[in-house]
Amino acid sequence: MQLVYLDESGNSGNNLHDKQQPVFVLCALLVPEDKWLALETDLHDAVEKHFPSPRPTDFEVHATGLRNGDMFFRSAPILQRLELRDAWLRLAAKHQLKVIYRAIEKRKYHRWQQETFGVGVAINPHLVALPLVARVVDDYLAALPGQPHGMFISDEDRATMGDVEKAIQLLRVTPGALKLRRIVEKGFFADSRKSLPLQLCDLCAYQARKIEEARLGMPTKSVDSVGMQLLEPLIARGAEKLQDTLAWIVDQQKKGATRE
């Protein structure tokens, strides 16, 4: 079994005109079950090294907090914050974890959405990114020795929890290119404050977004460069089946409209 943690970066909901965050990224962090305990121990030890106890009971490693000095990191020097970020990303490499993500350029997505459905329909890009990421995860698992199953674990985001679980269940029974064969039927949800691997996935999603923003020509800040470099070797790429996914989204939208 592989634990597949899901998190996102650049989420502005249905606001697809945010110039500061032109890209939405959905990221999957794959953790083999036999490495989970050692990974969690190492992540905890790294936090203890860089931000020793006592810490607030709701302390959480969050990418934007580390980068910008927000939340729990308001008084921490930038070097201390970046050292923890980089230590965590190096631990992902140490445990041979893989990252699979899908970036959606919001402006292009908005144009496709209007051309396909008209002005009155808004579909969160998370719901388009999920089957694209899930397809690559499924293929990756099928190519591993023993073809392990994967279990999706997401943050408790009330805005998308129901849609995520429904999408996983539908994709397991959808015939053709999008059918998921290695993903267990039910998705699971966890409080990110209590899950160090979910917090690590948040770091990966943020660095992936910075990589994609750089590809769009946005300037790369020095504060992000090392994190981007550390993420690159972790990335696994595959066939996303974009056209099949878009057709599936259209079909699901039509079925929803029919039910209404």
pLDDT in the model for residue 259? 41
Query: In this structure, what token pair is assigned to residue 21?
Result: 């965050």
Please give the pLDDT value at position 191: 86
The pLDDT assigned to 166 comes to 81
Helices 196-215, 222-231: inter-axial angle, 10-degree rounding: 110
Amino acid at 86: D
Is residue 218 in a domain?
Answer: yes
Q: What is the pLDDT of residue 188?
A: 86
pLDDT one-digit tens code per residue, 68-123? 998 899 999 999 999 999 999 999 999 999 999 999 999 999 999 999 988 878 88
Is the per-residue pLDDT at 242 higher than 80? Answer: yes
Residue 18, domain member (yes or no): yes
Residue 233 is assigned to a structural domain of this protein: yes
In a domain, 96, yes or no: yes
Domain assignment present for residue 36? The answer is: yes
- CB distance 205 to 7 below 8 Å: yes
Please state, for a pLDDT cut of 70, what percent of the chain lies above it: 96
Amino acid at 192: S
| 158 pLDDT above the threshold of 80 | no
Range of the domain at 18: 2-255
Residue 176 has a pLDDT of 84
Is the pLDDT at 1 greater than 90? The verdict is yes
- How far apart CA 129 and CA 139 sit, in angstroms, is 16
Domain count, the chain: 1
pLDDT in tens, 206-236: 999 999 999 999 999 999 999 999 999 999 9
* Residue 134 located in a structural domain: yes
Mean pLDDT for 239-254 is 88
7 within domain boundaries: yes
At 198, which CATH number?
A: 3.30.420.10
Report if residue 260 sits inside a domain: no
pLDDT in tens, 119-133: 878 888 988 999 999
